Amino acid sequence: MRVISGKQKGLHIKAVPGQSTRPTTDKVKESIFNIVGPYFDGGTMLDLYGGSGSISIEALSRGMNKAIIVDRDRKAIETIYTNLKNCKLEGRAEVFRTESIRALKALQKKQSQFHFIFLDPPYQKHRLHDELAFIAEHNILAVDGMIVVEHASSVALNDTYGGLRKIREEQYGDTTITIYTHELEE
């Protein structure tokens, strides 16, 4: 894996050792950023299932100011720290080892908001409906923000969750990318 574009372009990113995570392929990662960016003019992102940190590092490389990266796996957390250091981005990211819903509750208590949220849970153990509903209910997505969900193509997500509205869905083999924004109130 590598950083595709931006200030860290071309730097290599290590994968999490073992079979505990499923890395986002470079093809899917490039497609995600072509849809949501491809570059950012600042902002803060939340990567709720950090894995190797690849998506967060790509977003930081493309202009995101700060990333909050969450994962519950010890090997993933170690890999994220290594990749941030190798890409000289450790000062622009906070990394937490915890469950996704606990992280969301902590962020809600801090009244945190994000411009870009990336959700890529294990395909067989997802809680996407609950997580998206929680993000919507507690305004964790900034008004001009976007949520990108990478999930198994067999998983059907709702068109709306509270104030979140699905704006696009792309399929790449057994992987689907679903994108949400705030629904504009009339």
Question: Which residues neighbour 158 within 8 Å (Cβ) at sequence distance 6 or greater?
Answer: 129, 132, 166
Contact predicate 15/25, CB 8 Å:
no
pLDDT tens digits, residue range 108-131?
999 999 999 999 988 777 899 999
Q: Please report, for the domain that includes residue 125, its CATH number.
A: 3.40.50.150
Angle at 177 between CA 71 and CA 145, to 5 degrees: 75
Any idea of the CA torsion for 116, 117, 123, 126, to the nearest 10 degrees? -160
DSSP for residue 37: -
Q: Which domain holds residue 46?
A: 34-174
Looking at the domain assignment, is residue 10 inside a domain?
Answer: no
Looking at the domain assignment, is residue 20 inside a domain?
Answer: no
Looking at the domain assignment, is residue 21 inside a domain?
Answer: no
pLDDT tens digits, residue range 129-153?
999 999 999 999 999 899 999 999 9
Looking at the domain assignment, is residue 104 inside a domain?
Answer: yes
Strand partners, 178: 149, 169
Looking at the domain assignment, is residue 90 inside a domain?
Answer: yes
Counting the structural domains of the chain, the total is 1
In this prediction the pTM is 0.93
Looking at the domain assignment, is residue 185 inside a domain?
Answer: no
